[in-house]
Structure 1
Amino acid sequence: MGVLQLNSPTIPSSIPITSSFNCNSKPLKLLPLPKQLSRRRLFAIATSTTSSGPEGSGVTAPEEPPSIDFAFVHPRLLPDGTPDVHYRSACGGQKLRDIMLDQNIDLYGPYDGPLLNCAGGGTCGSCMVEVVEGKELLSQKTDKEMELLKRKPKTWRLACQTMVGSKDSRGQIIIQQLPEWKVHEWEK
């Protein structure tokens, strides 16, 4: 069991959480954010209440479970001109679509209705994303992807057809959400 500490005066200082709420039962990492964002966001720090034993006892802390860190970049910029980036972690061996939906990341944009997308069948192309970094952690393109994306840039993928690593994969991936709607260009 861990304790979640929040830095807001309106929320109690600590809320107990279970350590098995996700496949990643590791402490959350604080990610650097621009100073403009730090005033508007609520930061959480998860601390572990377990100890690795008395010093010098030879007991080591358990190794973190393998996970993949994601940075999901929204297609629109924030009012101050900075990109809106959402950081998440997930276990490998899942489809990118499932990871994005489980982590509450906007995947479909205006095509989010029940009759506007194929719900992961790979036939509509509404779940297109651009892989900015970390393509080596993703599966090869399927035949459905090749057909639907033949006139699109090579970095674009269908989230419903893309497998992310395996259960023991580690690494970082940067995903551009809704690449057709983005207002900024990536520097290569």
Structure 2
Amino acid sequence: MSLLQLKLTPNAFTPSSHRFRPNRRTLFTRTKIRAVSTVPDKNSETTESNKEPPSVGFAFVSSVLLPDGSPDVHYRSASGGQKLRNIMLDSNIELYGPYGRILLNCGGGGTCATCMVEVLEGKELLNPRTDKEKEKLKRKPKNWRLACQTVVGEADSTGVVVIQQLPEWKGHEWKYEKVDDESEESS
């Protein structure tokens, strides 16, 4: 097995496709502007503009490599308090792999163990193993979880969770390295 490195940057979880891009119509339209007050309230302006809603960043590492040998990583973010299975399915992340057909998985009941994932980073944001997980994963490593039984944080949780998809199918080992914005700019 080869050892691959994956660099996680803090801004990897911000969606770049949602930036505002003005087009010809938005540049030359006239709108009516109505003044509500002339002096902005300092308290409301600073709290609303500086606070973003709490969210958990996810890095989903595929079990197969891309043709050039680099890891296939999908970055997503979601609010805490949800099951990992729902986050993955809502984000179009492959969860079941070869078990994707309807009769091969239990649909989130915790009885088939086909939604197994390996938690590489962020274990502190997850709930403890449930009794179903303890039963199904008793011979697996402690960082393997069932996505249908794993709850990610609370509604106000923030942090990063790195998930290896289909750990029983992976053919490579990972080494993670966190990169700060400052060290990224200097290199």
Q: Report the TM-score, using the length of structure 2 for normalisation.
A: 0.72
Which fold has the larger relative contact order, with Cα–Cα distance below 8 Å and residues 6 or more apart in sequence?
A: 2
Q: Which ranges of structure 1 fall in alignment gaps of 5 or more residues?
A: 1-28, 33-42
Q: Which ranges of structure 2 fall in alignment gaps of 5 or more residues?
A: 1-9, 23-36, 177-187
Whichever of the two has the greater Rg, that structure is 2
Contact 1:127-1:160 at 8 Å conserved across structures: yes
Q: Report the TM-score, using the length of structure 1 for normalisation.
A: 0.72
Query: How many pairs align?
Result: 147
Partner residue of 2:136?
148
Q: What root-mean-square deviation, in Å, do the aligned CA atoms of Structure 1 and Structure 2 show?
A: 2.6
Cα deviation for residue 138 of structure 1 reads 0.2
Q: CA–CA distance in 2 between the matches of 1:85 and 1:55?
A: 47
In structure 2, which of residues 12, 22, 39 is the aligned counterpart of residue 31 of structure 1? 12
Partner residue of 1:8?
none
Partner residue of 1:113?
101
Q: Deviations over 1:86-111 (max 9, x none)?
A: 00000000000000000000000011
Structure 1 stretches of 4+ with a deviation exceeding 6 A read 53-57
CA spacing shift, 1:54–1:148, aligned 2, 3 Å: farther
Contact 1:75-1:183 at 8 Å conserved across structures: yes
Cα deviation for residue 63 of structure 1 reads 1.0
Contact 1:30-1:45 at 8 Å conserved across structures: no
Q: CA–CA distance in 1 between the matches of 2:71 and 2:166?
A: 14
Residue 68 of structure 1 pairs with residue 41 of structure 2: no
Q: CA–CA distance in 1 between the matches of 2:154 and 2:20?
A: 27
In structure 2, which of residues 3, 11, 19 is the aligned counterpart of residue 46 of structure 1? 19
**Of Structure 1 and Structure 2, which has the larger fraction of its residues in helix?**
2
